[in-house]
Structures are given as structure tokens and as C-alpha cells.
Structure 1
Amino acid sequence: MSALMLLDGGTGRELARMGAPFRQPEWSALALIEAPHFVSQVHAAYVQAGADVITTNSYALVPFHIGEERFVAQAEALATLAGELAQGVKRQAGRPVAVAGSLPPSCGSYRPDLFRAEEGRRVLAPLVRGLRAQVDHWQAETLSAIEEAQLVRDVLGHDDKPLWLSFTLQDEGCADAQPRLRSGELVADAARAALALGARAMLFNCSQPEVMAAAVDVAVDFFRSQAAAVQVGVYANAFPPQPKDAEANSGLDEIRADLTPALYVNWARSWRARGADIIGGCCGIGPEHIEQLYKARMAGVL
């Protein structure tokens, strides 16, 4: 088993907790626009907690959040700023830290039914242009369907930076007990697609901890069967199950009381035992959770 890599956690809720400008519909993009020093503070908090990877604050740079007019005029420049802020914290880290270029679901989080390739291409293209010089790898996040991942690869073209594909899962158990994406597609098929697309890592994010283990099992087994050097990772959220018509980042959902930092480590130990070698957190998982993961890794129990 390879060494465990620690991701950071959620950004939007941390910005709100720090007192950064924060409201709907802009979500985490508002701090980037009005008070970018808060974004740097969030990155620094995760580095201090022990994260090996910090993620650019570019998830909300889509028309749904910042509006069509601002998106057309400023999306590329804001993506560049998001990358520069992360790189600035990386330079001050005093140890190796990687910057992940966050590419959001282009037509709506949790909503594979809204996906349209032409619109997705329009949304992703300026983000890729703005981030390209600033990131160490691409991290396409909260993908609900395989075709969303295929679009990311197409938009990136021949970019040689490593590609990480992170899928969001159905929170409710499936009748056939097979882990599935929110589109209903099998995780096994998504793993096959990730390999064909040249992904260096396949992750699962923004879903409940309870559904992650089965997905890790499927992905690890598939990549081993193909003798493929594709890493597997998890960064769960801390929300109750989300309905099929939910829109990610549509509001501050309640946080589960049973996902304290110590209890989150217990979940992480299960994923690690199954072969996950990248672990972090998504919405509602903060620096205190990452710090406990770091301490567990240092103690040799993760």
C-alpha cells in the first residue's frame, strides 16, 4: 500500500466561519471577488492542519453562482487569481504541498439530468485557461455522470498535468447493492472510463461516508485487475442524505453531529484498509478533521 496523501477539506463553510463575505448565489466565489485574503487564510489553515494538497477556490466560478455577465467577463481572471492564491500559500508552506485545480460540474452539481456537453465546454474552457499555469494537477470534482468526466478530458486536450476524476455517489442504498453515481451508472463503469481517459486518480466526494467503502472496493478491485497504477481516494461530506433534485451549494445544510473529527478518522481508517491512498474532506469537513487525519497518519494508525 502506498503512502497516504491528505487532501484539504471544504472551502465555502470555512470562509463563512472565518467571517469572509459569503452569500448566495455567489457562495465561495464572493470572497475571491471581494476579499481574496480570506481564501488564502483557508488554504493556510489546511496546510497547518497537515494537508498535502490544497484545492483552488474555483468550484463556484460558474454562471449559476456568479451570474452570466460576470462569468463571461471575469471567469478566466478569477480562475487565475484562485490559482495564484493557492500557489502563494504553497510557497510559504515550508514543506511539499501540491495545488489541485478544481474543475466543477459544469451544468449543476448533483444534476446529471442538466448536463449538456456544449454548455459544459463553454463553462470549463475559461477555467482551464485561467488555472493551467497555476496547478500541479487537475481535479474534476463532484462528477455525477461518466459523460461529465469525458468532457473534462476533452476540454483539457493534450495538457500533460495529471488528471484526477472525482465522482459523487447516490447517498441512498441501491436495490442491487451496487455503488452507483448519481446518474445511476455503475461505479465499475466509471472506473473503466477513468482508466480509458488516462486518469491518475479516481476519487469519490460530496457523498455520505456510509456509501464510500463499497465504491472504494469496486475501484480498487478493478484497477488491480488491470494492473493499472491509478490511485483511489475519498473525501466525503458531512451532510444528511441529499435528494435526487438537490443542488449542491444551494444553502448551508445542517452538519451531522456524528461526524466529529475523531469519528471521521474511523471512517477514514475503513477506506484506507480497503486500499484508498488519498483521503480528505468535502463540504462540512474542516481543518480540525484534517488535523486529526494527519495525527492518525503520524501515529501509524491511518
Structure 2
Amino acid sequence: MKRQILSTSLDQPLVLDGAMGTELEKLGVATNDELWSANALIDQQEKIYQVHASYFRAGADLAITDTYQANVAAFAKRGIGHQQALDLLATGVHLAQAARDRYRPTGLVAGCIGPYGAYLADGSEYTGNYTKTVAEYEQFHREKILTLIDAGADLLSIDTMPNFQEIQAVVGILATLDQRIPYWISLSVRNQRQLSDGTDLNQVVAWLRQQPSVGGIGINCTKMENITPLVKLIREQTKLPIIVYPNPGDLYDPLTKTWTTVPHVDSFTKEVPHWLAAGANIIGGCCRTTPADIAQISRLIRPSV
């Protein structure tokens, strides 16, 4: 199952987990700084386990590790040495595995790779407004990717990618690794037609579908109303699995690193059937979603269970 999870033969929808950061906030973890939810990796690891456990109990088939904002450079700013930083990344995988092994032994753990924009911690994952060389992207991402693989992640979730050049660089890294692993690329979008950096999504999807190492294409951390047209756009071009995990539509302030709740016109109850009909294969939630949301998705996908 693990090696086939992102194959074109995926024959039934799967349930992804939901938000990590806002659930950790409810448990008393401070997330309003450059490390965001990765703060808990340093000294509140049990709370990460609790969040993973809550999602597996709610019916999730896959967990994304608490490593989105975690990387060697970010930890270095907190005085954490290189090897300790790598150990913390591996711990992110192990915590998800422990919750999986107890509550859903058939479940999978996706090691999370965030964009360079997440490291900048200024909201750049929603704009893609940065430029690095291929060598610089490789230096930033490669060691983290290898660490998550070595820690035993079943697959990788390349999350909230807003910059087409960075997407190409990350796919290039993964395509040349000796240790091959299934992975998806999940896009951060400006609207229903453009990547966050302004690149036409048709161009992005056309390029991704031609890369033999890419196992799936995702959309995450956008409002629910965007998902159906985005799934249709992707499905028109590829048979690859499509992964969707939106937020409820709340607003994020990158300066204060806080969310503002806005009235929600959409819900998982309303939208999940449309996403499935459009061709989505794996469905979960991003920022501000909860175990109750994932339980609802699970009931919609598996009504007889």
C-alpha cells in the first residue's frame, strides 16, 4: 500500500489530517514567531503526538508531520545546532508514526516540506515573492528531505508551494535521489487560475505531469470555494492523484502571525461531494481545520463505516 499510495491506480478516496498549528495553540503552544508550530518540536513534543492522535482517531488515513516550518536555518536562529536540528526533524516523523501505530496501524505518515517562503516567515508562501538559484534551493531543501526519508516517512508532502522556480528545483532534487520516495507537490494559489507568484496554473500542471517522479498534485491553504474549479483544471490535464486540503477561508496576518475568523459560506459537508465528483483523491484540511472537520470528511467519504 505504501508504495502505491500515489499511483494512478488509487482506487478509493483517502482522508488526510487537518491543521497542526492552531490545534497546538489550543494546547498552549506559542506559535506566533518564525518557527510557528515547529516550536513544539523543541520542548513540547507530547502535544504534537496528541494532535496527530486526535486526527487518526477522527478517521485520518494520512498524517502530515509537524515539520512545515522546521529547518536547520530556522533552528539555528534559536541557537540550536546542526545535528540537533536534524534530530528534531526526525522526531517530527517519529511522533506521527507513534500516533499512527497506536490509533491507525494501516495509516501513512507524510514528511512535510514547506517552501523557502515559510522560512522567511513573512507570508511569502502566499505570494512566492522571492528568487533563489537552483543551487540555493537545493542547499535549503535537500538535507531536510533526506532526513525525513531516513526517519521513515512513507511519503513526502511538499506543501504550500507558491513559486514555480522553487517547484522545479525541488522536483529536480527528488528526481535525482538514490532513495526514491512517493511525494506530491501541493500548490499555493493566487486565485483559480494562477500560482501565487502569478504563473499560469495550466503551465505548472503541464510541467508537473511530465515529471516521472511526481506522484500527485495538490492544492492547500486556500479557501474552499476555490477547490472545485482547481480540481477540474488539474484533472483535465492529468490522471495523477489530486490532493486537496483547504483552510476555512479565514484571514492570516503575516506580521502578527495570527488568524482572523471570517464568516464561512462553505463547509466540508457542502463541498466534499463536489470535490470527489471533480476528481479529488485525498481530502483533508489545512490551517484552522479541526479533528471534528476531519471526522466529517471521513463520514462523507466512508458513509457506511
Give the structure-2-normalised TM-score: 0.85
Range moving further from structure 2, 263-272 or 136-145 = 263-272
Query: 1:211-240 CA distances to partner (integer Å, 9 max, x unpaired)?
Result: 2221111110111xxxx4x10121101234
Partner of 1:26: 35
| Structure 2 residue matching 1:164: 3-state secondary structure | strand
Instruction: Summarize the alignment of residues 169-248 of structure 1 with structure 2, pairs less than 5 Å apart.
Output: 169-171=189-191, 179-197=193-211, 198-223=213-238, 228=239, 230-240=240-250, 247=254
| Structure 1 residue matching 2:260: 3-state secondary structure | coil
Residue pair 2:61, 2:104 contacting (<8 A) in 1 also = no
Structure 1: how far apart are the matches of 2:111 and 2:70?
Answer: 12
One-letter amino acid of the counterpart of residue 269, structure 2: V
Range moving further from structure 2, 49-58 or 89-98 = 89-98
Q: CA deviation at 1:101?
A: 0.9
Structure 1: how far apart are the matches of 2:291 and 2:73?
Answer: 27
Structure 1: how far apart are the matches of 2:55 and 2:265?
Answer: 18
Partner of 1:298: 302
| Structure 1 residue matching 2:197: 3-state secondary structure | coil
Q: CA deviation at 1:146?
A: 2.2
Structure 1: how far apart are the matches of 2:91 and 2:12?
Answer: 31
Q: CA deviation at 1:91?
A: 1.5
Structure 1: how far apart are the matches of 2:292 and 2:57?
Answer: 10
User: Paired residue for 1:5, among 14, 17, 31?
Assistant: 14
| Structure 2 residue matching 1:74: 3-state secondary structure | helix
| Structure 1 residue matching 2:185: 3-state secondary structure | strand
Query: 1:216-269 CA distances to partner (integer Å, 9 max, x unpaired)?
Result: 11110111xxxx4x1012110123466xxx74x961211334268xx2221222
Structure 2: how far apart are the matches of 1:168 and 1:10?
Answer: 16
User: Paired residue for 1:147, among 141, 150, 165?
Assistant: 165
% same residue = 25
Q: Which runs of 5+ in 2 are unaligned?
A: 1-9, 119-124
Residue pair 1:27, 1:65 contacting (<8 A) in 2 also = no
Structure 1: how far apart are the matches of 2:32 and 2:25?
Answer: 9
| Structure 2 residue matching 1:161: 3-state secondary structure | coil
Structure 2: how far apart are the matches of 1:241 and 1:27?
Answer: 16
Structure 2: how far apart are the matches of 1:211 and 1:104?
Answer: 21
CA 1:188–1:35 in structure 2 vs 1: closer, same or farther (change >3 Å)? same
Structure 1: how far apart are the matches of 2:182 and 2:47?
Answer: 28
CA 1:22–1:182 in structure 2 vs 1: closer, same or farther (change >3 Å)? closer
One-letter amino acid of the counterpart of residue 47, structure 2: F
Partner of 1:125: 142
Q: CA deviation at 1:163?
A: 1.5
One-letter amino acid of the counterpart of residue 81, structure 1: T
Q: CA deviation at 1:294?
A: 0.8
Range moving further from structure 2, 205-214 or 16-25 = 16-25
Q: CA deviation at 1:64?
A: 7.6
Partner of 1:174: none
CA 1:59–1:188 in structure 2 vs 1: closer, same or farther (change >3 Å)? same
One-letter amino acid of the counterpart of residue 201, structure 1: G
Supply the RMSD in Å over aligned alpha carbons. Answer: 2.4
Range moving further from structure 2, 108-117 or 74-83 = 108-117
Residue correspondences, number: 284
| Structure 1 residue matching 2:156: 3-state secondary structure | strand
Structure 1: how far apart are the matches of 2:58 and 2:167?
Answer: 30
Partner of 1:93: 103
Give the structure-1-normalised TM-score: 0.86
Partner of 1:278: 282
